[in-house]
Amino acid sequence: MEIMDKYKLGFSLDGFDPFTGYQMVPAHNGARDLVAKTDDVTGLIVVNDANKARIGNFRAQSTGAPLQVSDLGSLGRAARLPPRSEIRFTVFGSSPGFTFLTFKDEGGSLPTEGSFTISVKEVKRYKFFFAFLSDPLRKDVRGRIEPRFIMDKVRPIFEKQANVELEEFGHMRDVMVPHDIGNPIVPSKKVRGNMDVEDAIRFATGKELLDLVDFAVYPCWSVERNSGGSGTLGLTIDDGTQPVVFIELLAGGFDRYVHVIAHEIGHALHLHHSNRGLMFPTDASTSNFVAADEIEVLNPAP
Ligand SMILES: [Zn+2]
C-alpha cells in the first residue's frame, strides 16, 4: 500500500509534502486527512507513538461513505484496510513532536512496506507591522496597495501548512524618511556618511518599535537589491536584527501580489530559495507550496 499524493486528488495546501512523505498536523486535536491506496491484499497501518497522533474517520475516497475497518483493539493506533481501495482517513494531532505511520501489505507476492512522517505542531506566532514609506521626494503608496486583503490570503498559506500565525502588531503606519532614499530604493546604498538607505529607514521607524516585532513590511514605490538592477518585486533584508521586507507596487494581479508577499515573508522567517513552491526564486512559479524542511524551519519542533 501507499499514501497517495492528495494534492493530485484536489486537496488544497495543508502541510502535506508528497516528496518526502510528510504531514504537519496541529497539536491538541488538529486534524489532517490522508488517502491510502491498498494493493491486492489487506494493508496494515500503525501510528508509532499514540501519544502524538491517532487515526480514525475512515471512509471511501471516491464516495465519502464511512468504512468499517478493524482497528485492532487499540483505539486510533492501528487499522487493517481492505484490498484494492482508496481510503481517506483523518490524522488527529495530540502532543507536539514527531511520529510515524508505518504501513505494510499483509501477504501478497511483492509486499510493500513504508513509513510516513507525522509532525505534530503547536501554534507558532510571529508579529509584524506594515509601514508605508515616503521621503522628501516621493509620497507613499497608500491606497495603491491594500495589504489587508492581500494578508487575508497570505495568512492561510502559513497557518494551514505550518501552523504559523502571522499577527499584525498595531495599526498600519507611515514612515517618513527625511532623506532621499531613491527610486528604486536600494537598501545598501549610502545616503550620507556611513548611513545607508536601510539604516535611514530603520532609524525613521524607530528601534523601540522594531524591537516589538519579528519583522516589518514596507510597501513602497520600487525596490532593487543593487543599483542598476531591475525586475525585483520584493526584497527582504535579514541581517541579524529584525528582518525588513520591501514590497513594491506591482502591475500584476492580486494572486501575484499574494505570492510575492508570502515569498518575502518566507525570507523574513528565515527560509532560503528552493527549486519548487513558495520559495522558488523567480515568479515563474506562483505555487505557494511549503515543503517539509521549510515547515520545520518556520515552526521548529520543541
Ligand atoms: Zn526570494
CA of 104 to the centre of ligand 1 (A): 40
Sheet (strand 113-121) strand order = 16-17, 22-26, 113-121, 97-105, 43-47, 78-81
- The answer on 167 and 93 residing in a single domain is no
CA of 229 to the centre of ligand 1 (A): 15
- The answer on 128 and 116 residing in a single domain is no
Domain range spanning residue 79?
A: 2-121
- The answer on 165 and 67 residing in a single domain is no
CA of 228 to the centre of ligand 1 (A): 18
DSSP assignment letter at 13:
P
CA of 273 to the centre of ligand 1 (A): 6
- Residue pointed to by grid coordinates 527582504: 236
Which tens digit of pLDDT belongs to each residue from 69-126?
876 656 788 999 999 999 999 999 999 999 999 999 988 777 778 899 999 999 999 9
Which tens digit of pLDDT belongs to each residue from 233-276?
899 998 878 999 999 987 667 888 899 999 999 999 999 999 99
CA of 260 to the centre of ligand 1 (A): 9
- The answer on 109 and 178 residing in a single domain is no
Which tens digit of pLDDT belongs to each residue from 2-19?
999 999 999 999 999 999
- The answer on 164 and 24 residing in a single domain is no
d(CA 114, CA 238): 39
Note the pLDDT of residue 148: 86
CA of 137 to the centre of ligand 1 (A): 28
CA of 129 to the centre of ligand 1 (A): 20
What's the number of domains the chain is made of?
Answer: 2
- The answer on 212 and 109 residing in a single domain is no
Which tens digit of pLDDT belongs to each residue from 286-295?
899 999 999 9
- The answer on 60 and 15 residing in a single domain is yes
d(CA 116, CA 4): 11
DSSP assignment letter at 100:
E
CA of 277 to the centre of ligand 1 (A): 11
CATH code (residue 75): 2.60.40
d(CA 209, CA 133): 15
Domain termination residue (choose one: 98, 121, 144)? 121
H-helix segments, the chain:
147-162, 197-205, 207-210, 254-268, 292-298
CA of 52 to the centre of ligand 1 (A): 34
d(CA 125, CA 32): 20
Q: What cell does 24 get?
A: 504537519
- The answer on 155 and 117 residing in a single domain is no
Query: In a 10 Å sphere around its CB, with 0-12 CB exposed, 13-18 middle and 19+ buried, how is residue 135 labelled?
Result: buried
